[in-house]
Amino acid sequence: MAAPRPVAGPVALPVVHSWIANRPVEGRAGQRPAVNPATGAAFARVSLLDAAQAGSALAAARAAFPAWRAAPFRARARVLLEAREVVVQRAEEIARLVEQEQGKPAAEAHLVEVFPALEALKHLAVHAEELLKDEPVEAQVVLFAHKDCRLRYEPYGVVLVVTPWNYPFGVSLCGVAAALAAGNTVVLKPAPATAVVGLRIAEVFRAAGIPDGVLSVLSIDDALAPALVEDARLDKIVFTGSPATGRKVMASAAKNLTPVVLELGGKDPAVVCRDADLDRAARGIVWGAFVNAGQTCASVERVYVEEEVAEPFLARVVEETRKLRVGDPAAGEVEMGPLTLERQRTIVEEHVADAVAKGARVLTGGAARTGPGWFYPPTVLAGVDHTMRVMREETFGPVLPIMSVPSLEEAIRLANDTEYGLTASGWTRDPDNARRLESELQAGAVTINDCVYSYGEPTAPWGGFKKSGVGRTHGRAGLREMVQVKYVARDPTAGPMLWWFPYGRELDRLMPSAIRALHARSPWTRLAHQLRLLRFRRFRRRGRLASILKRADRLF
């Protein structure tokens, strides 16, 4: 980390700066406090760039792009592997910083932030070249059969990666790594609430030897964000955040037709079948609901359990939930820390209050504790239905509403009764039920007898159906979001093609036979017209007969 600079005031706090072209840059637009959500106290200040400074990062990225694009894959892989080693060496420091600024316990930060980042760096360094290599394409039109055709994957240029506060290290580093592996230069804008963690990524890559200008990490005032998204120097935008902000990003990007990937919200259901292993389902769902204090777009936010096993399942869930220790992670061993933002706790309180007012029962939790920090206890609700906000809106907090349903059919119907479709989980020991859940649940990822985890698997694409987003991150699909597809074809032959000027009457007579030779239903009709084509001098001279005969199987 760059040497902190003290500021005037009753308590001297370190000041953290943005990084442009491998150098820390003191912002000229004021400072913002970095706050520990467990205490409400500031532990640092972050200087904010003005518009001109942010623009200089885009200029640096544009200038660095030609050389980075031209660098062989092994050179880019070397940077990713060096970054991996830096993260390994600094893992404890990074996890503690996440704990301090975002609120999740350091043990959990290792698990869900550091570990996925390391796996992504390794996967991209090893496999990106293979995933993005040219693909031969065999021409299907026999008249083009002699051409050498390929699909080529080329980087966009300057990619803006905008990341959220709930996973400030893992999501940010994974997005940056994919863009870099594909040959893009990157400008990262981390969430204001967790900017210190995001800025640490610049230091990781600087230590890894990334060339100047290839990566910049910016902290800017919220008012400047729309202008950044609208900047014509951007070639692609990858945004992770709320649906409301995602709509604004898409609208702003549309002014320059800048392509976007949007990873937005979820209201992720779990379906518990009557044959499920209830102990496993309860423990897995409790983890999926309360990991990161429920501040995960893939959190289990709704449960539908078949009524035959609803009572024992609820008892197990409540038992597991009451075991969870909540508090300041820096002060002792806990499973759950605070919510990251005070306003997020307010949303949680509103959702619970709305549910209770409409008849829901609080089985455990249900009231914010007094004192410093933005804590809310893990809460289990029963007697819920789809009139309640907690079953329809993204809560993004430690609340687990559980609804008893008469059948698997009804569970699937209700699980799909949402405008979101990011992830879903099914809990069953019956292979037929598993296949049905995999087929009928409307989500970008469906997992059986586990939940949430797939973001940690670098081969798994990440993205949703419906209003959960546009495009994918992670895996082959996510890597290919970072490139443009180019079709390239070489013709090794000499002389004019059959369809080139001049046309003339002979071509006018030839084309009806060519159409029937290739597309008539009857093979005998096709054969008759194929033979007829040989009468035309133009076809004999321009038709590349040798190549056509090599693909004779396509003529019949």
pLDDT tens-digit series, residues 374-407: 999 999 999 999 999 999 999 999 999 999 999 9
Task: Find the domain containing 541 and state its range.
Answer: 504-555
What's at 224, amino acid-wise?
Answer: L
Separation CA 17–CA 437 (nearest Å):
48
Q: Tell whether 472 is covered by a domain.
A: no
Residue 474 has pLDDT above 60, yes or no: yes
Q: What pLDDT does residue 4 have?
A: 47
CATH code of residue 205: 3.40.605.10
Backbone angles phi, psi at 56, to 5 degrees: -65, -30
* Same domain, yes or no: 297 and 218: no
Angstrom CA distances, 218 to 26, 56, 222, 308, stand at 11, 11, 12, 53
Residue 552 confidence class, pLDDT cut points 50, 70, 90: confident
Q: What pLDDT does residue 23 have?
A: 98
Residue 11 confidence class, pLDDT cut points 50, 70, 90: low
Q: What pLDDT does residue 326 have?
A: 98
* Same domain, yes or no: 258 and 272: no
> What's the mean pLDDT in 212-230?
97
> CB–CB of 230/450 below 8 Å?
no
> CB–CB of 228/262 below 8 Å?
no
* Same domain, yes or no: 297 and 319: yes
Q: Which residues touch 551 (CB under 8 Å, ≥6 apart)?
A: 142, 145
pLDDT tens-digit series, residues 149-207: 999 999 999 999 999 999 999 999 999 999 999 999 999 999 999 999 999 999 999 99
- Residue ending a domain, choose from 426, 461, 496: 461
Q: What is the CA 315 to chain-centroid distance, rounded? A: 35
Residue 551 has pLDDT above 90, yes or no: no
- Residue ending a domain, choose from 428, 461, 494: 461
> What's the mean pLDDT in 487-509?
95
Residue 328 has pLDDT above 90, yes or no: yes
Range 215-228 burial, b when 16+ CB lie within 10 A, else e: bbbbbbbeebbeeb
> CB–CB of 148/133 below 8 Å?
no
Separation CA 315–CA 282 (nearest Å):
9
Q: Mind telling me the catalytic residues? A: 263, 297
* Same domain, yes or no: 306 and 388: yes
* Same domain, yes or no: 146 and 202: yes
pLDDT tens-digit series, residues 38-74: 999 999 999 999 999 999 999 999 999 999 999 999 9
Q: What pLDDT does residue 162 have?
A: 98
Helix axes 91-101, 73-89, angle to 10 degrees: 70
238's tokens: 């990858």
Residue 241 has pLDDT above 80, yes or no: yes
CATH code of residue 300: 3.40.309.10
Residue 516 has pLDDT above 90, yes or no: yes
Q: Tell whether 523 is covered by a domain.
A: yes
* Same domain, yes or no: 278 and 240: no
Residue 370 carries which DSSP code?
P
Separation CA 267–CA 391 (nearest Å):
8
> What is the overall mean pLDDT for the chain?
96
Nearest to 217 by CA among 44, 100, 6, 53: 53
* Same domain, yes or no: 186 and 306: no
> CB–CB of 207/225 below 8 Å?
no
Q: How many domains does the chain have?
A: 3
Nearest to 20 by CA among 66, 45, 52: 52
Q: Tell whether 1 is covered by a domain.
A: no
* Same domain, yes or no: 251 and 274: no
Q: Tell whether 468 is covered by a domain.
A: no
* Same domain, yes or no: 326 and 198: no
Q: Which residues touch 388 (CB under 8 Å, ≥6 apart)?
A: 351, 354, 355, 358, 360, 401
Q: Tell whether 159 is covered by a domain.
A: yes
Nearest to 128 by CA among 487, 481, 486: 481
Which of 8-17, 124-133, 241-250, 477-486 is predicted with the least confidence, judged by mean pLDDT?
Answer: 8-17
pLDDT tens-digit series, residues 412-467: 999 999 999 999 999 999 999 999 999 999 999 999 999 999 999 999 999 999 99
Number of C-beta neighbours around residue 331 at 10 A: 9
Q: What pLDDT does residue 544 have?
A: 85
* Same domain, yes or no: 259 and 336: no
> CB–CB of 112/292 below 8 Å?
yes
Beta-bridge mates of residue 485: 153
Q: What pLDDT does residue 547 have?
A: 79
What region, left, alpha or beta, does residue 229 occupy, with left being phi > 0 and alpha being psi -120 to 50 degrees?
alpha
* Same domain, yes or no: 260 and 273: no
Please name the residue that has the structure tokens 């600094």: 90
Q: Tell whether 3 is covered by a domain.
A: no
Residue 105 has pLDDT above 90, yes or no: yes
* Same domain, yes or no: 158 and 173: yes
> What's the mean pLDDT in 118-129?
98
Q: Tell whether 526 is covered by a domain.
A: yes
Number of C-alpha atoms within 13 angstroms, CB side, residue 97?
25
> What's the mean pLDDT in 124-138?
98
Q: For 327-430, where are the alpha helices, taking DSSP H only?
A: 342-357, 389-392, 408-415
Q: Tell whether 301 is covered by a domain.
A: yes
Q: What pLDDT does residue 550 have?
A: 72
Q: What pLDDT does residue 1 have?
A: 44
